[in-house]
Amino acid sequence: MSQLLFLIILLAVAYFATKKFIRIKDNIMLGLPYNISGDSAERWKRMILIAFGQKKMFARWIPAVMHLFIYVAFLFTQIELIEIIIDGLAGTHRFFADKIGVLYNVLINFIEFLSLGAFVATIVFLSRRNIIRLARFQKPEMKGWPSKDANIILLLEITLIIGIFSMNGADVVLQSIDPEHFKSTGHLFVSSHLGPALFGGLDAGTLHIVERFGWWLHILVVFGFVLYLPYSKHLHIFLSFPNVYFSNLHPSSKMENMPEIMNEVKSMFGLETDGVGADMSSGELPVFGSNDVTNLSWKNLMDAYSCTECGRCTSVCPANITGKKLSPRKIMMDVRDRAEVVGNEIFSKGIKKEEFNDGKSLFDSINREEIHACTSCQACVEACPVLINPLEIILKLRRYEILTESAGPAEWLPMFNAIENAGSPWQMSVERDEWIRS
């Protein structure tokens, strides 16, 4: 009965999680094509150093070390998870214990050491958010669900650790009482001390209940994580790897060009073009830039879904620091939320993205004052630990506003006129190259 129940839960979790992850993939692919070029070896190197190795996290080493414990504990716990799944399906107990010898003891001890470190790190992170209340976690965009989301994940992490030590602690005591049915794990870093201290006076039946409680708590929390991740910022656990791999290899300060405009200018000067230009044959003006998720690139949308909401981008943004409305983190959160809305509408109604129109756009959630405040300094791009580029989205929104809507801040108009008429942003009565002749 226990094996059947486990199988039913496992299949249900796999079905619903797969369904949601496919929907997220479909939402990301609502974006426009994105050119992936450059050396694949360099991309793999980036992914190993930045996504797997957490290289950029260590710009702030205290939270980096705390995060490292949780991250590495997550990775190694997956090995124990394989054993739990095998035990759940086959009705065995500690399937690997007598098959890999002393390595099993080393592995479980390492997991316990990491779990203890992860427990301390989780308490620290909860304190930073709820007691110390770090400024970057108290920004307006973090009110409500984003704040609850972070706390839910941290509390689930504590629950998972409780499950691990309840299972191991009771199992250690049972090994001394009933070694025939409970395989020896050897001396354990935490549980060999914690188990006898907490459960030493219990009878075998009660110990078995405690051990099963820890086992089921562990696996159910893991299943809960899997189902919850698609709705959480912690989706970055999976998406950070492809997001770093597909990131631009050119220097972050190099802004994306608009081939249509570049080729129009080239043709005006009689220069050779690459054949990409604005199509004026229909009599309608082309759309430049982006105003919604369907005319951002799929990489922009992957950036949004990969956002960890850590706020490092916002904490170094000079516009935000000086009290302006711009928060690069909010930009990414707004894009992700809009992608969810658009994706749900398109896929639930079975329509093409070209046919979708709910009368709204990204400008309904991203205030124009926000994108005007950006100085294009690249601070947010440099700060992101998973190579997200908020600036690219900001520039596309600006381009849409200025080139497609012919709008923008009134104080920018003199600059545009000066560039158009004199080739310089400064309104001066002399020619731009006058200084050469003087």
Domain range for 320 is: 287-422
Q: Which residues contact 91 (CB under 8 A, 6 or more apart)?
A: 2, 3
Residue 388 belongs to some domain of the structure: yes
Residues 226 and 292 in one domain: no
First to last CA, the chain: 94
Q: 247 or 266: whose pLDDT is higher?
A: 247
Is 223 in the same domain as 348? no
- Say whether both 292 and 199 belong to one domain: no
Are residues 327 and 179 part of one domain? no
Instruction: Check whether residue 8 and residue 74 sit in a common domain.
Output: yes
Q: How many domains does the chain have?
A: 2
Among the listed residues 228, 46, 217, 212, the one whose alpha carbon sits nearest the alpha carbon of residue 150? 228
The pLDDT of 89-113, averaged and rounded, is 91
Q: Does pLDDT of 92 surpass 60?
A: yes
- Check whether 23 has a pLDDT greater than 80: yes
Q: Is the pLDDT of residue 433 over 80?
A: no
Residues 398 and 297 in one domain: yes
User: Given pLDDT bands bounded at 50, 70 and 90, which one contains residue 275?
Assistant: low
Assess if residue 276 is contained within a domain: no
Residues 200 and 292 in one domain: no
**Nearest one of 392, 400, 377, 383 to 299, comparing CA atoms:** 392
Residue 283 clears pLDDT 90, i.e. is over it: no
Q: Is residue 361 domain-resident?
A: yes
In the predicted model, what is the mean pLDDT of residues 405-416? 86
Do 128 and 46 fall into the same domain? yes
Q: Encoding tokens for residue 329?
A: 């983190």
Share of the chain above pLDDT 70, in %: 96
Q: How confident is the model at residue 421 (pLDDT cuts 50, 70, 90)?
A: confident
| Domain of residue 314, CATH code | 1.10.1060
Residues 162 and 292 in one domain: no
pLDDT at 119 over 90: yes
Domain assignment of residue 96, yes or no: yes
Domain final residue, candidates 172, 201, 234: 234
Residue-wise pLDDT for 337-390, tens only, equals: 999 999 999 999 999 998 899 999 999 999 999 999 999 999 999 999 999 999
Q: In whole angstroms, what separates CA 391 from the centre of its chain?
A: 17
For the beta carbon of residue 405, count every other beta carbon within 10 angstroms: 13
Whether residues 292 and 219 fall in one domain:
no
Query: pLDDT tens, 144-179?
Result: 999 999 999 999 999 999 999 999 999 999 998 888
Coarse DSSP helix, strand, coil percentages of the chain, rounded to the nearest 5 percent: 65, 0, 30
Residue 124 lies in a domain: yes
Split at pLDDT 50, 70, 90, the class of 182 is: confident
Helices then strands, each counted (H, E), the chain? 18, 0
Which of 200, 234, 268 is where one domain is finished? 234
Q: Is residue 249 part of a domain?
A: no
Residue spans of alpha helices (H) in 178-269: 191-199, 204-228, 236-245, 259-268
Residue 180 within a domain = yes
Q: Cα 114 vs. chain centroid, distance in angstroms? A: 23
Is the pLDDT reported for residue 278 higher than 70?
no
pLDDT digits (tens, 9 = 90+) for 293-311: 999 999 999 999 999 999 9
Q: Are 296 and 153 contained in the same domain?
A: no
Residues 395 and 316 in one domain: yes
Q: Is 281 among the domain residues?
A: no
What pLDDT shows up at residue 265? 75
How much of the chain exceeds pLDDT 90, in percent? 69
Of 109, 111, 107, 104, the residue nearest 69 (C-alpha): 111
**pLDDT score at 438:** 66
Whether residue 279 has pLDDT greater than 70: no
Contacts 24+ apart (CB under 8 A), 292-295: 292/338, 292/342, 292/361, 292/362, 293/30, 293/31, 293/335, 293/338, 293/339, 293/342, 293/362, 294/30, 294/31, 294/32, 294/342, 294/353, 294/356, 295/32, 295/396
